[in-house]
Amino acid sequence: MKRRALGSTGIQISPLGLGTVKLGRNEQVKYPSHFEIPDDHSVRNLLAQAQDLGINLIDTAPAYGSSQERLGKLLPGARNDWVIVSKVGEFFEQGRSRFDFSFQTTIEVVEQSLRTLNTDYLDVVLIHSDGDDLAILENEGALDALQRLKERGLIRAHGMSSKSVEGGLKVMNKMDIVMATCNLAYNEELPVLQAAAKKNRGVLIKKGLQSGHIPGTRGVEASMRFVFSQPGVSGMIVGTINPDHLRDNVRIIEQVLKEIETQ
């Protein structure tokens, strides 16, 4: 897949990123049906397939169970073959989430993620919002901590996985990247994408396929066309542990982007 600029960060990403929550957690997730966490052999093959298909963007988080640990062991190739996006703020413990956006905890979480992922830097770290975006950005220490980590060279870019228009717009003024929700059933955050395009900020789309609730190939194609027709979109994160789905998603997204470019 042809690489795309992640805003003005200097990072080049595949338009499709692999979400990895299913590699490490199957509790309290929003997918339409239960799934078993795959074994190491299956994960290793899935990651190798992703690389062969041209995917270099990997999305993970400490709240995704054993996802980071498994990526640290099983991710193939050289470190610079991959763009790793991780997060801070959310912890998943004993079947439920808790949140901590303090300065010191943010530093500690990133340092732990570096060890767990077996790397000396992270390409992107996002604040994993609990829904109160503005309070996190204005009153908590996570933003300052990520800026400090960026200055230390431990992360290349920072941003927020936001949950409101107001929060997303605030991110545009303070951070490099926003992860926003956009799909055929929800377009309320389009002003965030438009602002990002004007400011040349990176945009990653979450829930573009409505967490697996889009039926059939036509539905997936229509969803991807809608997402990538919006201004400012750099990439779209889609989680799967199904090799056929991964292959189909790459084929569809390449077709959609070719059609959009020729319009």
Residues in the chain: 263
Whether pTM > 0.85 for this model: the answer is yes
Torsion of CA 134, 138, 141, 143, to 10 degrees: 70
pLDDT of amino acid 128: 97
Per-residue pLDDT of the chain in tens (263 residues, 90 and over written 9): 899 999 999 999 999 999 999 999 999 888 888 899 999 999 999 999 999 999 999 999 999 999 999 999 999 999 999 999 999 999 999 889 999 999 999 999 999 999 999 999 999 999 999 999 999 999 999 999 999 999 999 999 999 999 999 999 999 999 999 999 999 999 999 999 999 999 999 999 999 999 878 878 899 999 999 999 999 999 999 999 999 999 999 999 999 999 999 98
Q: What is the CA radius of gyration of the chain?
A: 17
> How many Cα atoms occupy the beta-carbon half-sphere of 116 within 13 Å?
20
pLDDT score, position 214: 82
Tokens 């997936």, residue located? 220
pLDDT confidence of residue 92: 93
Contact 158, 146 (CB under 8 A): yes
Torsion of CA 125, 130, 135, 137, to 10 degrees: 10
- What is the predicted pLDDT for the residue at 180? 97
- What is the per-residue pLDDT for 176? 98
pLDDT of residue 217: 87
Predicted pLDDT of residue 29: 86
Q: Any bridge partners for residue 90, and if so which? A: 99
> Is residue 128 within 8 Å of residue 89, measured between CB atoms?
yes
